[in-house]
Amino acid sequence: MVEITHRFVESTSGLRMHVAEAGEGPLVLLLHGFPECWYSWRHQLTALAEAGYHAVAPDQRGYARTGGPSEIDQYSILHLIGDAVGLVDALGEGPAVVAGHDWGAPVAWGTAQLRPDLVRAVIGLSVPHRPRSSRPPIAGFRQKAGDGFYKLYFQQPDVPERELDRDRADTFRRTLYAVSGDAPPNPMIVPEGGGFLDFCPSPDVLPDWLTEDDIAAYVTEYQDSGFTGPLNWYRNLDRNWELTAAWHRAPITPPALFVVGDRDPVVAGRRSAVDSMGDFVVNLRETVWLPGCGHWTQQERPKEVNEAMIGFLRGLS
């Protein structure tokens, strides 16, 4: 059986990053989302290694064993893309295939957009590429979803981390279940006077793809870092919009694959955002829809995700 090993790598971005890795061969960089860490790619690390690739899953800036700076403005999209580029450079194995899920998807899409010379191909999971909007995103979220939208709740200082850090096992249990394909549809709206976890029900029984050992693993990985770093990604949404003006509606040119669950609330009611991706991801080879799958694609449906990723990778040559 392939072994997953761990080490720290000094990214040329200046961040000391913890990585989990397996296998030898062409580099596939796996970028996790919120609230996750390298562990969300546990099934892909071994599958990609067995297929002949060097799979590397870092804890991204602010997360788990990597940690990060305290200043909010150090979590902009340019810092996050810089970490990915710096890790590829430090590993000395570029150009790389860059895959990202949830928040990792915009980082992967952005890396392919800004540094196509270092990106052999890009794989997005759950979050489609969206071209830069004509106005800052916070105002748009407020108009479309109201002040209760969870991304607006996360803008508050200290309040979200106090809630999420209170009982981390409960946080992961609720969050991972709430937007999965096993849970009822979720509007992701914080009730007035409530918190993020108030719209995340606690399951009576965990779904088959999630175990108590998995939850314990996330709790262990977060024991030294907590949630402030991850939440700071959300606190840069308008700053990211300002910083990326030079790439407004710029195309993404490397070969691309997109994988998404048809019960993912990110795309619920927004199928057009997926169908129109080819307008800007100009070499989109395939979009794979996973019936009955929610937001945690590579954890909920590891077999199908592995097959889609490896098939796409083999087709690159």
Tell me the catalytic residues.
102, 295
Q: Which residues contact 180 (CB under 8 A, 6 or more apart)?
A: 207, 209, 210, 294, 295, 296, 300
**C-beta separation of 267 from 260 below 8 A:** yes
Hey, is 144 helix, strand or coil? helix
For residues 197 and 167, give the distance between their C-alpha atoms in angstroms, rounded to a whole number. Answer: 11
Do 292 and 261 form a contact (C-beta atoms < 8 A)?
Answer: yes
| Helix intervals (H) in 179-315 | 212-221, 228-234, 237-243, 271-275, 297-300, 302-315
157: Cα within 13 Å, side-chain hemisphere: 3
Phi/psi for 18 (5° steps) reads -80, 135
287 forms beta bridges with 258
Question: What CA–CA distance (Å, rounded) separates 78 from 95?
Answer: 19
